[in-house]
Amino acid sequence: MITRVYLKDCLSFNEVDLEFKNGLNIFTGPSGAGKSILMQAILSLFALSDVKAKLGEVQLDNLKFSDDTYDISFDDDIVIKSIKKDKVRYFLNNQSISKKNLNDFSTKLIKHLNLKDTSEFDSSKLIVFLDKLTAKNNREFIEIKNSFDSLYIEFLQIKKELKKISEDENKLEDLKEFAKFEIDKIEQINPSIDEYEELNLIKKRLSKKEKIEVAIKKASGIMEFNQNVVNVLELMEVDSSFFDEAMNELNNVFEKFNDSLYELEDINIENVLDRIEKLSALQKRFGSIEECLKYKEQKKIELESYENIFFQKEKLEKRYASINEELLVLSKQISIYRKKTSLILEKKINEYLKFLYLSNAKIILNEKELDSSGIDYVLFELNSVTLETISSGEYNRLRLALLTSMSEFDIVDNGILFLDEIDANLSGKESDAISKVLIKLSNSYQIFAISHQPQLTSSANQHFLVDKNSGNSIVKLLNNKERINEIARMISGENITNEAIDFAKNLLK
């Protein structure tokens, strides 16, 4: 619930600092005092209205709510702030938050019911309410609904796969041709790992071949002086074996290189260079020959899958049709349960409507195309006419009857409810009826409302007066004596009569 609201420099309000309790919180006051401004300012703290205050803060507790995104655990206190300078900035528990994200967050906590908001009668919401009510103490329905939900997830997945196959089919020939082209292009070159390095080594050796041959020829002249060196060493009585070994080693090196040159005789340098260029292009495209070969295998697998796509599609289509039939059977079973439950909910709503001086609400379940909620589309009628044609007063009372019925069945989460002009233009008996229904509803919601009638005002757990003096608006919590005077003013006008005071006292009793 909201425990405190603080506003600074909010249009005609210099400062507002209010503490709230659970239950029914009512704001009254003369026309033009700023009641609507105050209500909108409180809603703006939840990003549900435009911010007017330069500084605002709202504190909440006991929400039975958790949100991992903002690190909020069950039963944590929440503080929301807004600061308006050049632009508006919002903070949730001292974390900066965008207006959109705060709005999304707030709608999980706050219901703001106004004449523009018809969401309570959205078919999707009503389906959820019906399912919650049906699921209470009805294990068979829960099992059927769980089977439907899990099967529908598979249904959507197969539908997605079939859509992709259908898209692939349209370009299947192009894909097949491209895969074949890529495979053929690589296989024509037929690269092998390490081949590029080996060819570059050959290229390097071929480029040095002539230079080395000339150099060896020149260096081979040393062999002609071999015996002269041996003779000198013998005359010097020096063992010539070291020289013989060195010369033999040199001769072996020359002969070994000459042998390798013979191996290169049959190699065509142009073919080597052409091969290196092709391998280089593959390396440049794929990063390495190894990656190139992996890509080729991948394309082969893709080509095989394209060839098998017809069989895959046929298999999926059979499963899709089978699941669709199963879902239709389950959804019809679910619909039977919903229709029975809708009669129970309809009866309860009409009980409240009778109390609110209305009657004949009808919940109609029409059949629609199968989707995640089944085949049911829910419509509301009042006295055999659609909700678009009923008056605002009738609409408000019908909405209260729906909310209170769901609250009584315990199929709504506790929360905070803001009501716009809930008892405007109503007779005394209608206003009295609404006040009694709101008292019932306040067991599930903390309610904030502006009241124009003494009946609802006298039912408040907290009564706040909004007044204006010299252009400045103020708001204060009234004690019992002040409440009597304010209710008497609502009855008789600015000139309060003794009869109005007596009537106010009786209402408060």
In this structure, are residues 448 and 25 in contact, taking their beta carbons and an 8 Å threshold? yes
Structure tokens at 455: 């009946």
Structural domain of residue 100, as residue ranges? 1-114+412-478
Q: What is the pLDDT along the chain (509 residues), one digit of tens a residue?
A: 999 999 999 999 999 999 999 999 999 999 899 999 999 999 999 999 999 999 999 999 987 778 888 888 887 899 999 999 989 999 999 999 999 999 999 988 888 887 666 777 899 989 999 999 999 879 999 999 999 999 999 999 999 999 888 877 777 778 888 889 999 999 999 998 888 888 887 777 777 666 777 777 777 778 777 888 778 888 888 888 888 888 888 888 877 777 666 666 666 777 878 888 888 889 899 999 999 999 999 999 888 887 777 788 888 999 999 999 999 999 999 999 999 999 999 999 999 999 888 889 999 999 999 999 999 999 999 998 988 888 877 888 898 899 899 888 876 666 899 987 787 777 788 888 889 899 989 988 999 999 988 999 999 999 999 999 999 999 999 999 999 999 999 998 888 899 999 999 999 98
155 within domain boundaries: no
From the CB of residue 295, how many other CB atoms can be counted at a distance below 10 Å?
A: 17
In this structure, are residues 426 and 395 in contact, taking their beta carbons and an 8 Å threshold? no
The helix/strand/coil state of 63 is coil
The number of domains in the chain is 1
Pick from 313, 327, 382: nearest CA to 165:
313
Pick from 507, 471, 449: nearest CA to 38:
449
In this structure, are residues 395 and 115 in contact, taking their beta carbons and an 8 Å threshold? yes
Question: What gap in Å lies between CA 197 and CA 202, rounded to an integer?
Answer: 9
What's the sign of the alpha-carbon dihedral 343, 348, 354, 359?
A: negative
167 within domain boundaries: no
User: What is the CATH number for 74?
Assistant: 3.40.50.300
In this structure, are residues 415 and 109 in contact, taking their beta carbons and an 8 Å threshold? yes
Question: What gap in Å lies between CA 468 and CA 474, rounded to an integer?
Answer: 6
Structure tokens at 249: 């080693």
> Model's pTM, two decimal places?
0.66
Question: What gap in Å lies between CA 430 and CA 151, rounded to an integer?
Answer: 48
The number of helix segments (H) and strand segments (E) in the chain equals: 16, 15
Question: What gap in Å lies between CA 291 and CA 296, rounded to an integer?
Answer: 9
5 within domain boundaries: yes
Q: What are the strands of the beta sheet with 13-19, ordered from one edge?
A: 95-97, 88-92, 78-84, 55-60, 2-10, 13-19, 472-477, 462-469, 24-28, 445-450, 415-419, 110-113
94 within domain boundaries: yes
89 within domain boundaries: yes
424 within domain boundaries: yes
361 within domain boundaries: no
The helix/strand/coil state of 146 is helix
41 within domain boundaries: yes
Q: 116 exposed, middle or buried (CB, 10 Å; 0-12, 13-18, 19+)? A: exposed
